[in-house]
């Protein structure tokens, strides 16, 4: 169960110290190539785990030391250098599966934001209500951004049940509607018992509630949530929400500016890479 949350900025992540499964590997797709790639991924994961820990500490330390309500201080800032704080090998955690029912946006979008979150996390709810809709409007709708959800339940049995229920709603094309209902103001205070999850599914417009109930308790839902969970633990995440933006880690429900800076830096890098690749292909004598 979670520790009591410190009095801090509302941008702080909800933090626990769960014990990760022994020797589990991240479940995201690994990049192809030389044998050095897995080593790079392991090194990158270790660095990200350290950074996420630092950002989580900064975000949850007692108020009064650093910035006020504007965020968690310098640790949340994005450098003017678009590559600073980015671990390119971790871009492979993006699944980019067009059939992914828990994702929003084009599979080939230049930027992928991966969110590791828990439906009982108040800070996740803050991000879902205050920031995510603006990111969708500004970047998903124009094809720049793809958002990929990872269920990362860390607050016990109800968190696990809500995660499976969200996956079940997704099987009927209503994940994001369920997500909105479960993160509505005051929703988590009502808990996520079985009848409450059914009510949220009904509110989300899930058409077949009998199927929803079966899917929620089914082995596929358990496996899908476990896969996401193990990926988060493999990254060293111990708090929610945690994010990767094209390999850049961000911890906590940071201000909109933190996400826009990270997304625009990633989009600029992706644009430059695409231009360089095109130029290389068009170069006389190129065998690409």
Q: Is 250 helix (H, G, I), strand (E, B) or coil?
A: strand
205 contacts 177 by C-beta, under 8 angstroms: yes
pLDDT of residue 138: 98
pLDDT of residue 127: 97
CATH code: domain 25-281 is 3.40.30.10
Considering the entire predicted model, what is its pTM?
Answer: 0.75
191 contacts 158 by C-beta, under 8 angstroms: yes
pLDDT of residue 274: 84
Rounded CA-CA distance 11/73 in Å is: 10
pLDDT of residue 114: 98
pLDDT of residue 15: 61
pLDDT of residue 75: 36
40 contacts 46 by C-beta, under 8 angstroms: no
Under 8 Å CB-to-CB from 220, ≥6 apart: which residues?
none
pLDDT of residue 278: 79
DSSP string covering 219-232: HHHHHHHHHHHHHH
pLDDT of residue 251: 92
Q: Which candidate, 225, 229, 227, 155, places its Cα nearest to that of 188?
A: 155
pLDDT of residue 30: 39
Domain ranges of the chain: 25-281
Q: What is the mean pLDDT of each run of 10 residues along the chain (288 residues)?
A: 40 54 43 38 50 41 32 41 78 96 98 98 97 98 98 97 98 98 97 98 98 98 97 91 96 94 96 85 69
C-alpha dist (Å) from residue 270 to 29, 89, 257: 19, 14, 20
């Amino acid at each position: 169960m979670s520790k009591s949350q410190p009095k801090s900025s509302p941008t702080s992540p909800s933090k626990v110290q769960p014990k990760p499964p022994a020797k589990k590997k991240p479940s995201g797709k690994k990049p192809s190539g030389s044998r050095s790639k897995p080593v790079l991924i392991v090194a990158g994961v270790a660095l990200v785990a350290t950074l996420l820990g630092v950002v989580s500490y900064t975000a949850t330390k007692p108020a009064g030391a650093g910035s006020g309500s504007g965020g968690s201080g310098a640790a949340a800032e994005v450098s003017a250098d678009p590559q600073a704080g980015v671990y390119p090998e971790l871009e492979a955690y993006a699944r980019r599966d067009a059939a992914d029912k828990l994702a929003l946006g084009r599979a080939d979008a230049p930027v992928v934001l991966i969110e590791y979150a828990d439906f009982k996390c108040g800070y996740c709810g803050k991000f879902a209500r205050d920031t995510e809709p603006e990111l969708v409007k500004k970047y998903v709708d124009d094809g720049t951004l793809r958002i990929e959800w990872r269920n990362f339940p860390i607050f016990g049995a109800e968190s696990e049940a809500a995660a499976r229920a969200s996956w079940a709603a997704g099987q009927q094309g209503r994940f994001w509607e369920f997500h909105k209902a479960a993160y509505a103001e005051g929703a988590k205070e009502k808990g996520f018992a079985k009848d409450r999850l059914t009510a949220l599914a009904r509110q989300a417009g899930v058409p077949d509630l009998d199927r929803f109930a079966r899917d929620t308790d089914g082995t596929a839902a358990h496996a899908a949530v476990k896969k996401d969970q193990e990926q988060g633990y493999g990254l060293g995440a111990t708090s929610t929400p945690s994010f990767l933006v094209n390999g850049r880690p961000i911890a906590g429900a940071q201000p909109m500016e933190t996400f826009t800076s990270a997304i625009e830096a990633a989009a600029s890098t992706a644009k430059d890479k695409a231009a360089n690749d095109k130029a290389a292909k068009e170069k006389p004598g190129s065998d690409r």
